[in-house]
């Protein structure tokens, strides 16, 4: 699994960065050997998987929560993962 790239202000501590990563990829999403996105990729037709990932990213972009920056980071993480799966699928063809 890859680490997400987050843009963090210089004054952030390593604890702040870990907290941000936990908010973007919470540990409870990965209790087994694979995470939810990987499970979907392995069990759903690719067009359904793609639609689900796009829908999740869109939901994060349009949510009206207090921390819009965190939601945008979640959207970026979801789209980054989708891109990786698109590349993986292309290589598997």
Domain residue spans of the chain: 14-92
Q: What percent of the chain has pLDDT over 90?
A: 55
pLDDT at 16: 47
pLDDT band at 2 (very low <50, low <70, confident <90, very high): very low
Q: Does the structure show a pLDDT above 50 at 7?
A: no
Handedness of CA 16, 18, 22, 24 (dihedral sign): positive
Q: Does the structure show a pLDDT above 50 at 18?
A: no
Burial per residue of 21-37, b for 16 or more beta-carbon CB atoms within 10 angstroms, e otherwise: beebbeeeeeeeeeeeb
pLDDT at 85: 97
Q: What are phi and psi of 85, to 5 degrees?
A: -70, -35
For residue 32, CA distances in Å to 12, 14, 36, 66, 73 come to: 31, 26, 9, 30, 24
Q: Does the structure show a pLDDT above 90 at 19?
A: no
Residue 60 and residue 75 in contact, taking contact as beta carbons nearer than 8 Å: yes
The pTM of the full predicted model, rounded to 2 decimals, is 0.67
């Amino acid at each position: 699994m890859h680490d997400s790239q987050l843009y963090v202000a210089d004054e952030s501590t390593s604890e702040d960065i870990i907290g941000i990563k936990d908010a973007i990829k919470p540990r409870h999403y990965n209790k087994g050997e694979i995470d939810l996105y990987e499970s979907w990729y392995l069990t759903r037709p690719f067009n359904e998987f793609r639609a689900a990932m796009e829908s999740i990213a869109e939901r994060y972009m349009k949510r009206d929560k207090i921390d819009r920056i965190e939601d945008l980071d979640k959207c970026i993480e979801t789209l980054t993962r989708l891109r990786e799966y698109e590349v993986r699928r292309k290589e598997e063809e």
